[in-house]
Copies of this chain bind each other. A is one copy, B any other.
């Protein structure tokens, strides 16, 4: 079996991407596809730099600025979430379902944690009169006892 490292987007993902871009009046370009694909291929919350090195394998002339541009575009289109932790570099996450993040203090790794819709609703009720949240962000900090060798491992995922 010829190991295909070209991260070709599965049809469903490609449709999702093209649809979202079109809806925002943007073009579907090779770079946007590659970057979205690279996020889906290894859903491990890479930084822009990390995405940069990954996609350079298949588009050696791509520039870091383009990676930033494309990631921002994907975020704008609602296909990707930007995840910040303290002052560290922003990380990118293609998990579209509502979820929280667990930051492992020891390894710096980030895991997705499923966040049921009813919990989100309940949390929004904490807001006083006159405060309307359209989104929320929940981050746990601690140490995982799990010896996951690579990335996700335990907490929920899937886009």
Chain A residues with CB under 8 Å of chain B are 82, 84-87, 90, 100, 102, 111, 113-116, 119, 123-124, 126-146, 154-156
Contacts and interface: CB of A to CB of B under 8 A. Distances in A.
Contact of A137 (B82, B111, B129, B139): B139
Stoichiometry, copies per complex? 2
Contacts of A139: 136-138
A129 B100 CA distance: 16
A102 to B, nearest CB: 5
Nearest to A116: B126
Given A126-B100, A137-B138, A144-B130, A87 B90 contact: yes
Contacts of A85: 84
Contact of A133 (B115, B131, B141): B141
8 contacts: A84-B87, A113-B131, A114-B126, A129-B154, A130-B145, A131-B145, A131-B154, A135-B141
